[in-house]
Amino acid sequence: MDRITAAEVFVDVAYSGSFSATAQRLDMSRPMVTRYIEAMEIWLDVRLFQRTTRKVSLTSAGERGLQDIEHWLKDMKRFVSDVNPSDQLSDSIRISVSQSFGYSQVMPALIDFMQQHPKVRVDVDLQDTTADLVEERIDLAIRISSSPHPSLIGKPIALCKSVLVASEAYLASKPVIQQPTDLADHACLGYKNFERNIWHLSKGAQHESVSVDCRLTANEANALMYAAIHGAGIALLPTYLVNEHIRKNKLQRVLATWEPSTMKIYVLYSSRKHLSPTVRTLIDFLADHFSKNYWDVCDQSEN
């Protein structure tokens, strides 16, 4: 049996704690996962896992060998790529990204990348909470942040600008908004992961921090965008998500001369030392793809 695949299966089971979860993630049958683990134990002449009807856990020998096998696996993948430089990239990559940015921006970019590298497989994990890259076997995370976690290596690939938006119907039925303090008298929609209760706005040298009342909050930006489209209130949302709806007049800009805080979009990974050639190539591709920042704010007169 292929020892590289066997090592990959072993490492995945070590973190997932489940033969079934690993089978699903690596797109193979559960019996095949079992065969690879048994082959690893025969090759190493040691029992790597304790199996019960409820869970799978590493033996002490498995725990001691996990890090070494991880390093060997990454070195072997890099070696295979180095000795066959003319071959196409053929690795598998697991990516974590927020739902809104994943749906609207990352998926189209990945399709282009995979067309250029037809042997590459990509598994996208869509979530709006920070993932543990090591525990969840994430090769690359794409996150919007003011400062990434210090334990991770981060490369900024673009800026993320935001705008205040609301539907025309909502704005027509409420008092006119002329300055940031007027927001206190309006229904606002709160994004739990970014400035839920206080919105920081700037206009040249002026800075305002406005406390807003958010009766409706969510941990996912798409949900707030559609709530705003249906007249629920004012939302602070990234331009990459709302520009199309602004162009179609489904959303109107609010306080257009005032700018919310600008964030950076990062690609994050746990270790520079063991990056596979495929991950390195994808990082460079995404940095080039998003360097254009083609989702800059739409032109629209202020309400």
CATH number of the domain at 3-83, please?
1.10.10.10
Q: Using CA of residue 130, residue 133, residue 135, residue 137, what is the dihedral sign?
A: positive
Residue with the larger pLDDT of the pair 102 and 302: 102
Q: How much is the pLDDT for 96?
A: 92
Q: Are 147 and 265 in contact (CB under 8 A)?
A: no
pLDDT over 80 (residue 217): yes
Annotated domain spans of the chain: 3-83, 92-158+265-290, 162-261
Q: How much is the pLDDT for 303?
A: 46
Please, what's the b/e burial string for 156-177 (b: 16 or more CB within 10 A of its CB; e: otherwise)? Answer: ebbebbbbbbbbeebbeeeeeb
Q: How much is the pLDDT for 97?
A: 93
Q: What is the mean pLDDT of residues 111-132?
A: 86
Task: Select from 3.90.870.20, 3.40.50.1220, 3.40.190.290, 3.40.50.800 the CATH code of 162-261.
Answer: 3.40.190.290
162-261: same fold as 3-83?
Answer: no
**CATH class of the structural domain 92-158+265-290:** alpha beta
Q: What is the pLDDT of residues 24-73, one digit of tens each?
A: 877 788 899 999 999 999 989 999 999 887 788 999 999 999 989 988 88
Q: How much is the pLDDT for 297?
A: 62
Q: What is the mean pLDDT of residues 121-140?
A: 80
Q: What is the mean pLDDT of residues 180-201?
A: 86
